[in-house]
Amino acid sequence: MKEENIAEKLRKELAVLCDGSDKSPSAALDLLAQLESEQQRLRNELKRLKLDAARRYSASGSMNSRLKDALRE
C-alpha cells in the first residue's frame, strides 16, 4: 500500500514538472512501471523462498526426530 502511494506521488510530481516544459514524461513513467513490476517479482520470489525454507526446516526437523528415535532403540 505504502509503495503504491509513493509511485502515485511520483507520477503526480512528474506530471507537474513536465507541464511547464515541452518534454513528455513517458520515459520516466516507463521506468517507473518497470521498477514496479521488478518489485512485485522480487516480492513473489521472496515469498516463495520463505515458504521453501519453512518447508525444508519442518521436513528436516521431523527427519532428525526420526533419526533420534532410531538411535535410542
Span 17-61, pLDDT tens digits: 877 777 777 877 888 889 889 999 999 999 999 999 888 776 655
Residue 42 has which C-alpha cell?
522480487
Query: What pLDDT is recorded for position 63?
Result: 60
Query: What pLDDT is recorded for position 16?
Result: 81
- Per the confidence metrics, is the pTM higher than 0.85? no
Asked if 25 contacts 31 with a C-beta cutoff of 8 angstroms, the reply is no
User: What average pLDDT score do residues 8-23 get?
Assistant: 79
Query: What pLDDT is recorded for position 8?
Result: 85
